[in-house]
């Protein structure tokens, strides 16, 4: 039986929007947070319809109210409905990776990534780790790990958590300046791979490459 898709009026809740909650988390941020403005009305509505999540939820609010969110000088990119600086909407980025048609619940849902080839995804059962939790594909292990955070908790961690400590062994002096010009469709292709023995990341080759190619190389 084909899945019954919700219509736009069922997904947009103006009286009880999750966006106010997300804005509160942003206001209390300890890390740098840049909320990218949403695209035109038709594009953000299409993204919401494709994802089939209500704006009452933080995820639906992020998709509908933002073009994406850049955290910690752009080190982490949280997907929304797309922006010139992050031209990947959440549903477009997932299409062909976690689902191939709207309707069925995807077995996982990519929701964010970082500049060194790490990916964050909500386990819908397909990762076999922790359904409902955000999992992290660690580029130094080439494996998915359980963050023990739901999507809302993940947002709070991005804004207010110790992101620097989480990545402390994978950063180098001057990383902020180096990633400042990195496009939203790119990540750093690091060689030797972080999963391989070798020198610290500061001494490895780092060059921009399509994030889609990095995903395909390490995940499929």
The domain segmentation of the chain, as residue ranges, is 13-218
> What are 60's two structure tokens?
């639906």
Instruction: Count the alpha carbons within 13 Å of 124 in the hemisphere toward its beta carbon.
Output: 11
- DSSP secondary-structure letter at 173? T
Q: How far apart are CA 205 and CA 132, in angstroms?
A: 36
Residue 23's φ and ψ, nearest 5 degrees, are -60, -35
pLDDT of residue 1: 44
Q: Which of 59, 47, 61 is nearest to 12 (CA)?
A: 61
Q: What average pLDDT values come out for the chain (220 residues) when binned by 10 residues?
A: 78 91 98 98 96 96 98 98 98 93 82 98 97 98 98 98 97 98 97 96 98 96
How far from 23 is each of 27, 75, 116, 119, CA to CA, in Å? 6, 20, 27, 24
pLDDT at 3: 66
**CB neighbourhood size of 83 (10 A):** 20
- State the pLDDT at residue 128: 96
| Residue 207, φ and ψ in degrees, nearest 5 | -145, 150
In this predicted structure, what is the pLDDT of residue 2? Answer: 53
Whether 206 and 189 have beta carbons less than 8 Å apart is answered as yes
CA separation for the pair 44, 64 (Å, rounded):
5
């Amino acid at each position: 039986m084909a899945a019954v898709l919700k219509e736009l009026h069922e997904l947009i809740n103006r009286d009880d929007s999750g966006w106010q909650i997300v804005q509160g988390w942003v206001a209390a941020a300890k890390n740098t947070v840049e909320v990218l403005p949403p695209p035109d009305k038709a594009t953000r509505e299409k993204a919401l319809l494709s994802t089939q999540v209500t704006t009452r939820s933080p995820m639906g609010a992020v998709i509908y109210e933002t073009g994406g969110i850049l955290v910690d000088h752009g080190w982490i990119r949280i997907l929304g409905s797309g922006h010139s600086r992050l031209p990947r909407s959440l549903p477009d980025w997932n299409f062909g990776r976690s689902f191939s048609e709207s309707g069925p619940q995807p077995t996982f849902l990519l929701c964010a990534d970082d500049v060194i080839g790490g990916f964050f995804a909500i386990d819908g059962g397909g990762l076999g780790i922790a359904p409902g939790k955000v999992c992290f594909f660690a580029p130094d292990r080439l494996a998915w790990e359980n963050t023990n955070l739901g999507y809302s908790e993940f947002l709070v961690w991005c804004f207010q958590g110790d992101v620097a400590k989480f990545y402390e062994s994978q950063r180098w002096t001057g990383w902020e300046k180096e990633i400042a010009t990195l496009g939203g469709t790119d990540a750093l292709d690091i060689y030797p791979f972080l999963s391989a023995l070798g020198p610290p990341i500061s001494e490895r080759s780092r060059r921009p490459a399509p994030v889609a190619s990095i995903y395909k190389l390490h995940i499929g």
